[in-house]
Structure 1
Amino acid sequence: MALRPIIRFPHPTLGISAEIVTRFDDDLRALVDDLTETMRAAPGIGITAPHIGVLKRVTVIELDRQTGPRCFVNPEIVWHSEVTARHSEGSVSMPGISEDVERPMGVRVRYQTMAGETREEEASGLMAVCLQHEIDQLDGIFWLRRLSRLKRDRAVKRFEKLR
C-alpha cells in the first residue's frame, strides 16, 4: 500500500469521465489498497481513482472503520428514489469545504467486485449519498456542480482563502 497525492480542485482531471475497468488483477488490487490508505489519511469516507489522477472507474467508501472499506468497480446507478434529502458533502480534493447537496434518498447500484463479479444492491442514507457523490466524480461531475451558482462561487472563494 502506498499513500498517493490527491489532486486538488480545480485540476482538469476532476472534470473527466473515468474509463471502465476491464482487467481484474493485481494492479487493480494495488490501486484499491492505495485508494484506501490515501482516503484514510485525507481523512475522508470516500475516494475515487480520479482523485489520485488515475482515470479508472473505481471507488472506495468506508463509513465505519470497524466494518471496513467497500470497493465498487464500474459502478452505475440503475434506480433512484423520487424522494430527496439534503446532506452535507465535501471532497478530499477540496479539503475544509462542505455544502448541503440535495440527492435522492435511495439508490440501486450495479457494480463489479475486485474479482469482476457483477452485483446489484440498494443503499439509503449516508451510503446512498456517498455512492451518488463518488459515481458523479467517476462521470467527471465534481460535487460543486450540484450546487447553485451562488453557493458554488462562495465555496470556491472559501477554498481559495484556505489555500
Structure 2
Amino acid sequence: MVLPIVAYGNPVLRKVGKEITPDYPELHKLIEDMWETMYNSKGVGLAAPQINKDIRLFVMDSLQIIANLEDDEKWDYPGDEGYKGVFINAKINSINGDEWSYNEGCLSIPKIREDILRREEIVISFLDDNFVQHTKTFNGVTARVILHEYDHIDGKLFIDYLKPLKKNLLKRKLDNISKGKISVDYRMSFVK
C-alpha cells in the first residue's frame, strides 16, 4: 500500500527515532509498504519518520542511481556498486574520506534541491529485515543516500546543512510546503 509522505513542518521529522524489536507490530507489512511508497514517489530512500513513524528504520536503493549513470560518470563513484536494503536500528561507526558536494533532494521537502557536502565513506552497523546484524562499509552516492536517510531517524533534514543565508532564502518555499501549498505526483500528509 502506498502511504502518504509527511511534509516538512511535521514534528515527527524532528524526532529522534526509537529502536525497535522483531515484535514491532506488522513490521514486514510496514517495510513492504515503505518500498512501494518509495518507488511510487520515485525516491531512492525512505525513512520511517517520513511516513509518520518515529522509529529507527529506513529503506534505500542506490542501485537505480548507479544503473542510470553514463559511462563517464561512473568514474565519479569508484567502487560504488550500489545497494538495496533495509536498515533497522542503524548506528554509524565512522565517517571517513574527503567531503564532496552533491545536489540532494527529499520527498518530504519536494521541489527543493541543494548542494550538500558529505564525506565519501561510512562504516555502519544495522539489522536487516530479518534482524540479522551487519556491519558494512559504503562509499560514494550509496554512502550519501544512507547518510541522508540516517539523518531522518536522528531528526535531521538535509536543509540543516545549509548556511543560514541560503536557508533564509528558502523560507517562503519551506513555509508553503508545510502549509500544503505545493503540488506533487505522490501522496503527501500536511500539518493541519
TM norm structure 2 = 0.78
Distance in 2, matches of 1:47 and 1:152, equals 23
Native 8 Å contact 1:48 1:134 kept in 2: yes
User: Retained in 2: the 8 A contact 1:47–1:59?
Assistant: yes
Amino acid paired to 2:5: I
Q: Which residue of 1 aligns with 2:130?
A: 115
Aligned-pair CA distance for 1:70: 1.3
Tell me how far apart the structure 2 counterparts of residues 155 and 35 of structure 1 sit (CA, whole Å): 28
- 1:75 deviation in Å? 1.1
Pairs aligned (count): 162
TM-aligned CA deviation for residue 99 of structure 1: 0.3
CA distance in 2, matches of 1:68, 1:3: 22
Letter of the structure 2 residue corresponding to residue 38 of structure 1: T
Find the counterpart in structure 1 of residue 40 from structure 2.
41
One-letter amino acid matched to 1:71: V
TM-score after normalising by structure 1: 0.91
Give the corresponding residue for 2:117. Answer: 102
One-letter amino acid of the counterpart of residue 151, structure 1: K
Task: Tell me whether 1:62 sits opposite 2:78 in the alignment.
Answer: no
After the TM superposition, which of the residue ranges 63-72 and 114-123 deviates more from structure 2? 63-72
Gaps of 5+ in 2: 68-81, 183-192
The Cα offsets for residues 98-153 of structure 1, whole Å up to 9 and x where unpaired, read as 10111111101100011111101111111110111111110001211111112222
Q: Does 1:158 align with 2:157?
A: no
Contact 1:78/1:108, CA 8 A, preserved across alignment: yes
Indicate the structure whose relative CO is greater, using CA pairs within 8 Å and at least 6 residues apart: 2
> 2:162 is matched by which residue type in structure 1?
L
Q: Which has the larger radius of gyration?
A: 2
Q: Which runs of 5+ in 1 are unaligned?
A: none
Q: Structure 2 CA distance, aligned partners of 1:69 and 1:24?
A: 23
Match in the other structure for 2:141: 126
Q: CA RMSD in A?
A: 2.0
Q: Is the 8 A contact 1:78 1:109 kept in 2?
A: yes
CA distance in 1, matches of 2:142, 2:52: 24
1:84 CA drift (Å): 0.9
Find the aligned partners of 1:149 and 1:43 in 2 and give their Cα distance. Answer: 29
- For the pair 1:12 / 2:11, whether they are aligned, the reply is yes
Secondary structure of the structure 2 residue equivalent to 1:83: strand
- State the identity as a percent: 24
Matched residue, 2:26 = 27
Are 1:139 and 2:154 an aligned pair?
A: yes
Against the structure 1 CA distance between its residues 143 and 152, is the aligned structure 2 distance closer, same or farther, given a 3 Å change threshold?
A: same
Aligned equivalents of 1:98 and 1:109: distance in 2? 26
CA contact under 8 A between 1:21 and 1:57: conserved in structure 2? yes
Q: Is the 8 A contact 1:24 1:114 kept in 2?
A: no
